[in-house]
Amino acid sequence: MQRRPREQPETESVATTLADSDEAVYNLLESLLQEVDEFDTQPSVKAEVQRRVEQEKVEVAVVEPVVEQVKVLPTVPIEQAIVAETDTYSEQPLPGWAKGSISCLICEVEGIEIAVPMVILRGIAVWDMKTLPMPVQPEWHLGVVDYRGNKITVLDTARLIMPDKVRQTADERRRDHAGHFIVINDTMALSCDAIKQTIKLEQDEIRWRPKRPTRPWAVGTLIDRLCILLDTQALLEEIQDV
Amino acid sequence: MSAELDESASNDPEIQLVTFRLLDESYGINVMQVQEVLRVAEIAPVPGAPHYVLGIINLRGNVVTVIDTRTRFGLPRGEINDLSRIVVIESESQVVGILVDSVAEVVDLRLSEIDSAPNVGNEESSRYIQGVASMDSDLLIVVDLNKLLSEQEWAEMSMF
């Protein structure tokens, strides 16, 4: 007579499997803790360990193809990576007027000379006319004047290019304006404290700034006078970005 | 014996430092990085420059940026007088001038005589302070000019 094996419930079979695993691990640990000369290579433990190792090898073999499919990106040396990240000082084109001989107007703003190319100027005027302050405007907006029938906004040059040197408040500057303004396009003018002279410069008298990570409006430096050459278009673009 | 001395010298090289004064302290910089020392002439301010940039000078047709060393070291600004000098240095491929209260002398030191300065508190200054050396009865702060400014700041020195 053959006894039919009793089907074990699922949970009981899992428990049995876990118990077997625990016992195998226990036996393995016990064997590792024994003295070498007393070490008894229990076939069951060795076999179990070997089985597990083989199993892991199989698993690794299964995983490996997946790993190989991963695209390995080319490594970049750290120094190059840092340079690539920080090398944002790309050259910028010089203005169209920055060629050949350049006639410039030398103005004084807060005691500092700046050079403005004559070719872009629409006019120069003594700032002694009525100026209309506009509500809710930035501090560099000094007001609107009527210049030859055109409504011109006067910008505070000092506030724009060297705000740390400006001591007066915007209201004080709007109220106590003096000096001159130079008209740079149909609607905008730059304030200045004094007009000094006009000069003609050759290319070798200017140190150009092809890279302008800061102060994009300082397109160059006059070597003899040590003053900046102002790119008024870049200045306008900067305030429009604000 | 001479071989031993040679080996000792190569392991502990001698360096020469140009020393200058700021406020009440003496500082030293590598003489190899010093191009020249100038009396202070007109320094033209540059609109929009960082606060530690005094301005620019015309050095034989070249525009050189001048740094206020006191400001850079976190010291109060000083008055320019007859003893003030602009030390023109080269670092990180840039030529700049550093304004100092006065220039003293060139001293010889062995590298072993420069003790590392304890890094306490100010991480900013510890970046460019190489160490401290004894000079007669005084202490000399040895400055690593290459670390006076960051890489980006050095690059911008030529853009004024």
CA distance B105 to chain A (A): 31
The mean per-residue pLDDT over the stretch A79-100 comes to 68
Of A207 and A34, the structure prediction assigns the larger pLDDT to A207
Please check whether residue B40 touches A, CB under 8 A: no
User: Which pLDDT belongs to residue B123?
Assistant: 60
What percent of chain A clears pLDDT 70, i.e. is strictly above it?
62
**For residue A229, what pLDDT band results from cuts at 50, 70 and 90?**
very high
CB nearest A112 (choices: B45, B58, B63): B45
Please check whether residue A213 touches B, CB under 8 A: yes
Of A11 and A172, the structure prediction assigns the larger pLDDT to A172
Evaluate whether B157 touches B146 at the Cβ level (below 8 Å).
no
Residue of A nearest to B59 (CA): A223
CB nearest B44 (choices: A161, A165, A227): A227
CA distance A201 to chain B (A): 15
Length of chain B: 160
**For residue B128, what pLDDT band results from cuts at 50, 70 and 90?**
confident
User: Which pLDDT belongs to residue A56?
Assistant: 57
pLDDT(A227) > 60: yes
In chain B the domains, ranked by start, together with CATH numbers, are 12-157 (2.40.50.180)
Residue pLDDT, tens place only, B57-84: 999 999 999 999 999 998 999 999 999 9
H or E element: which one contains B57? strand B53-59
Q: Is A112 left (phi over 0), alpha (psi -120 to 50) or beta?
A: beta
**Residue B127 and residue A174: Cα distance in Å, rounded?**
45
Contacts of A22 (CB under 8 A, 6+ apart): none
What amino acid occupies position A124? I
Contacts with B62 from chain A: Cβ below 8 Å: 223
Beta-strand (E) ranges in chain A? 102-109, 112-117, 123-126, 141-147, 150-155, 180-183, 188-192, 194-201, 206-208, 218-222, 227-230
In chain A the domains, ranked by start, together with CATH numbers, are 1-87 (no CATH), 102-241 (2.40.50.180)
Report if pTM > 0.80. Answer: no
Closest CA relative to residue A213, chosen from A120, A100, A89, A123: A89
